[in-house]
Amino acid sequence: MSDVENAYKQIASFLNNETEKTLLICGIADEEKHRALLKALNARGRSKGLIFLIHTTKDGMENFFRWAGLYKVKVPKKYGQSMQLSNLTIYFDNLSTKSSSNKYDNYAFDFMIVWPMQSVTKNPKEIQMLHEMAERQKTKKIIYLTIKEPWYSPEPLKPYVDRIVTLDCENDNPKEYQRIMAAYEEDHIHQEQRNRFY
């Protein structure tokens, strides 16, 4: 089974699980992660969800689909308007992690995607805030989706979720995996050298 198929199966299993509420999808295969998630959500039939954009500008709606390699998707003109993607009705909103947001506590969406996660991974207070928000939510499934790994590690978030799916595509696309890891290694070495000088 390919890495993508395996991740897709795990995501589908989480969506069907009655007791698990929160999922972290991480790993360096960004486009594949986004696609596997959308495909698994779509396979469940008609459902409504919210994509909560963390610290993003207005083009965050388009950027979400760009990361999935979907460039022709028409996004709403503004937050709060719905859009259709096959079986999915999707709403977008901006999530500020500077203060606690109770905005959607009384809405029971089928799913909520919190994206992108990299900005909160270095801030324990923001992770705690997301955890508390997930606890309060009536929404059935809350999914944290990362980008830009390994530069941003989702490690601090892991204790707060019911399930973790990692998709690196190490077996599906070993060349790309090696390229990303080598680039990260190089950056890491340069960073350490810079730190020594300052």
100 with 69: CB under 8 angstroms?
A: no
Q: What residue ranges do the domains of the chain occupy?
A: 3-170
Q: Which CATH superfamily is domain 3-170 in?
A: P-loop containing nucleotide triphosphate hydrolases (3.40.50.300)
So what's the pLDDT on residue 100?
61
Q: Tell me the pTM.
A: 0.93
So what's the pLDDT on residue 198?
66
pLDDT at 95 over 90: no
- Distance between alpha carbon 127 and the CA centroid of its chain, in Å? 14
Across the chain, what does the average pLDDT equal? Answer: 92
pLDDT, tens only, 163-196? 999 999 999 999 999 999 999 999 988 888 888 7
So what's the pLDDT on residue 97?
66
12 with 39: CB under 8 angstroms?
A: no
Closest CA to 115 of 156, 47, 61, 35: 61
Q: How many Å apart are CA 75 and CA 27, to the nearest integer?
A: 26
How much of the chain, in percent, has pLDDT values that exceed 70? Answer: 97
Q: What is the mean pLDDT of residues 28-55?
A: 95
Residue that has been written with the tokens 């606690």 in this structure: 100
Q: How many Å apart are CA 102 and CA 87, to the nearest integer?
A: 27
Residue that has been written with the tokens 């998707």 in this structure: 73
| Radius of gyration for the alpha carbons in the chain, expressed in angstroms and rounded | 17
